[in-house]
Structure 1
Amino acid sequence: MAYPYQGRDNRLITGRIHPRARKKRKYELGREPTFTRVGERKIKKIRVRGGNIKIRLKRDMYVNVYDPTQGKTVKAKIVRFLDNPSNRNFARMGILTKGAIVETELGKVKITSRPGQDGVLNGVLIQ
């Protein structure tokens, strides 16, 4: 799998190669995607720019569910993965991203957080 280089493309529209003005920079680095799945909690810590830490969620079996009718948030266990409207391949593989739908003990929940970026699973109860 190729990781995205977030700089200018190497070729012009005509197909000619761009003359290199400089080398690639570390801040233009792309990283492998985090395919978050349902399972025993597993996180990965990554050092990012400025020495900060980004937590990537690899697997989790609990989600913080917000109930809009009661206005409360409860931690609920994920029973099973239902769908991921953002990508049909993610739906087939059971990958949790923002917008994915899972079934919990409380009912159907739509994931509202970005588990690969935030390191936590938050969701909203859908009727």
Structure 2
Amino acid sequence: MKDQGRSPRKRTGGRRRPNHKKKKHELGTESTETQVGEPKLKVVDSRGNTQKVRAVTTDIASVADGATTHEATIENVVENPSNPNYARRNIITKGAIIDTSQGRARVTSRPGQDGQVNAVAVE
């Protein structure tokens, strides 16, 4: 996990007060909650003259089944361990269990960061 600045506690356990507010480069962005639907991508500038492709909505997943990989259509989100509310709202994150045309699969990629859904078949 990325370091979010200095710890608010000293080594001795004493409190360390912040000496400034967040600077522009320290600000985060709102998370992209990828939903099931017609594929829609969004290109965002990121640090170091690079770009990230965020999947706003998608219905295509690459499902790995042993040695072979198939492209499958996502029907809905069955379970999401990161947030039970996400399953009800059909939001795809890493670790989510999705229903596809190839059967159930667990998402191994981060669609809000990579712009694609990679998954492994679950029996």
TM-score (norm 2): 0.83
Q: Pick the structure with more strand per residue.
A: 2
Residue 60 of structure 2: which of 46, 51, 62 is its match? 62
TM-score (norm 1): 0.80
Aligned residues: 118
CA displacement, residues 49-104 of structure 1 (integer Å, 9 cap, x when unaligned): 11100111111011001011xx1111111122211122112122221000111111
User: Structure 1 stretch 41-50 or stretch 83-92: which is displaced more?
Assistant: 83-92
For structure 2, list consecutive stretches of 5 or more residues without a partner in the other structure.
none
Query: Could you tell me the percent identity over the aligned residues?
Result: 45
Question: For the residues of structure 2 that align with 1:87 and 1:23, how far apart are their CA atoms?
Answer: 30
Question: For the residues of structure 2 that align with 1:122 and 1:54, how far apart are their CA atoms?
Answer: 16
User: Structure 1 stretch 75-84 or stretch 54-63: which is displaced more?
Assistant: 75-84
Please say if residues 55 and 112 of structure 2, whose CA atoms lie closer than 8 Å, have aligned partners that are also in contact. Answer: yes
How many Å apart are 1:105 and its aligned residue?
1.1
Question: For the residues of structure 1 that align with 2:7 and 2:23, how far apart are their CA atoms?
Answer: 14
Does the alignment pair 1:33 with 2:20?
A: no
Aligned to 2:79: 83
Q: Relative to 1, partners in 2 of residues 1:19 and 1:27: Cα closer, same or farther, differing over 3 Å?
A: closer
Question: For the residues of structure 2 that align with 1:76 and 1:91, how far apart are their CA atoms?
Answer: 19
How many Å apart are 1:32 and its aligned residue?
0.3
Does the alignment pair 1:18 with 2:14?
A: no
What CA RMSD, in Å, does the superposition of the two structures yield over aligned residues? 2.3
- Aligned AA (1:42): K
